[in-house]
Structure 1
Amino acid sequence: MSKIWIFDLDDTLHDASSKIFPRINQSMTAYVSQKLNISNDAAHEIRDQYWKVYGATLKGLMEIHGVDPKEFLLKTHDAYELSKFVKQSHALKNTLKKLRGKKIVFTNAPLHYAIAIIKSLNIEKYFSAIYSIESTKYNPKPSLIAFRKILRHLGKKPYQCTMVEDDLANLKTAYKIGMKTILVSRQNKKTIFVNKRITKITQLTQSS
């Protein structure tokens, strides 16, 4: 039975925290400020509230304000600009090449952004599919709904899949439904829902 590798994108396959996330964060706050006609500080507070209640800024904007998700995602994820900050890695390509089994990307990011980042990394040939926030009807990880939708798309059972992620909350859902879990992080916190821990993605072939 072939293994299915499910990869998160940002901060798993590449570094998004240093330059990309701050710009997306700034764009989201600016969008909320303009859309709701409020100050940047108020927009930041609302985003924080929506994150706690809905798990994402977008979900709150859709539920409370009827915001068009496509408009929001296009205006807050400038793929052309953001992909300029991506650094290619031969080690990453070699790691993906060595991994046996089907590989997909499962991200909370929009599809146009995910495609641009993967192309910038020059790793698109290693993945058979990209599942984005649109694929889950805007239900972000760690939502159980999101995971179930992806599994239905794949036609696979959880035990056939290995989730590779930097986010513990997402791995917790994956583990609960029966997936194998691999955390990509420098954190040393021990948790029962992490089967393996690596500090960088290129260590994956050493631990699989």
Structure 2
Amino acid sequence: MTEQDKPSGEGQHAHRQDLRVFKGVEAWVFDLDNTLYPSGSDLFPQINERIASFVSDLLKIAPEDAMTQQKAYYHKYGTTLRGLMSEHEVDPDSYLSYVHDIDYSNVQQNPDLAQAIAELPGKKYIFTNGDRPHAERTAAALGISNHFEDIFDIVAAGLLPKPNREAYDKFLKLTGVSPVRAAMFEDLQKNLTVPHKLGMRSVLIVPPGAREVFKGDLDLEKDSAPEVDFITDDLAGFLKAVVGSLR
């Protein structure tokens, strides 16, 4: 890695408010759920309910027990799907189709976000642990579909979810993205660990009104969260600020 390619402030928190570290970024990588749309849009709770329903039907257990089993799979395997595939040989296509059969009517068009994404220099990608059809429907509901180069979903990742290193490696190989010239936006802190180690600028998306709470928790100890470069509860506003800093 050349001096020019090294991300500014790598491993430090000093640049959290210095948006100039985004200069040179050529690829902007966005998680989907609770990142490109706010958590209040009610999509993810619907997906969780569908997952619990799938587990309940498959294992012939009560819905409340299915919720418990679902969490156990998630913590052990990274996703419920991977747990079901490993322990019950579940067909991934059937599972993904079932759990993403949800109502998107609560997702509102977001012209501010669309404009901010459009003004970012370089290519933009969606990198999700969900599937492509879900990402396409969500992006269409938000009015941001036309601004992305591609969608990298759980199927493209070989059904291996973030935060597994292999998922990121597959994404980089498929897209040709250089991590030291990329930025990653995520609502899960653990999913930023690998991108940050690879040299990406990392942005943690938190629920509206929660930025100062999260920032205070992460700043209790210096470098308590080295994988998080920036925290925001307003993605569109943050991207507008980034665009402004690049002019």
Q: Which residue of 1 aligns with 2:68?
A: 45
Inter-partner Cα distance in structure 1 for 2:173 and 2:40: 31
Matched, 1:29 2:64: no
What letter matches 1:101 in structure 2?
G
Q: Secondary structure at the match of 1:61?
A: helix
Contact 2:25 2:182 (8 Å CA) reproduced:
no
Inter-partner Cα distance in structure 2 for 1:17 and 1:148: 31
Q: Which residue of 2 aligns with 1:85?
A: 106
Matched, 1:206 2:206: no
Residue from 85, 100, 109 that aligns with 1:62: 85
Residue from 124, 130, 145 that aligns with 1:124: 145
What letter matches 1:181 in structure 2?
S
Where do 1:90-169 residues align within 5 Å?
90-169=111-190
Stretches (4+) displaced over 6 A: none
Matched length: 206
What is the TM-score of this pair, normalised by structure 1?
Answer: 0.93
Fraction of identical pairs, as percent: 33
What is the TM-score of this pair, normalised by structure 2?
Answer: 0.79
What letter matches 1:192 in structure 2?
P
Offset of residue 33 of structure 1: 0.8
Tell me whether 180-189 or 137-146 shows the greater mean CA deviation.
Answer: 180-189
Say if 1:25 and 1:2 are closer, same or farther in 2 by CA, change over 3 A. closer
Q: Which residue of 2 aligns with 1:14?
A: 37
Residue from 179, 193, 197 that aligns with 2:200: 179
Contact 1:198 1:204 (8 Å CA) reproduced:
no
Q: Report Cα offsets for 1:104-127 as digits up to 9, x if no partner.
A: 100111111110011111111110
Q: Secondary structure at the match of 1:151?
A: helix
Q: Which has the higher contact order (CA 8 A, sep 6+)?
A: 2
Contact 2:34 2:44 (8 Å CA) reproduced:
no
Contact 1:6 1:164 (8 Å CA) reproduced:
yes
Contact 1:109 1:133 (8 Å CA) reproduced:
yes
Q: Report Cα offsets for 1:38-74 as digits up to 9, x if no partner.
A: 2222212211111111011101000000000110011
Offset of residue 83 of structure 1: 1.8
Inter-partner Cα distance in structure 2 for 1:166 and 1:52: 17
What letter matches 2:80 in structure 1?
T
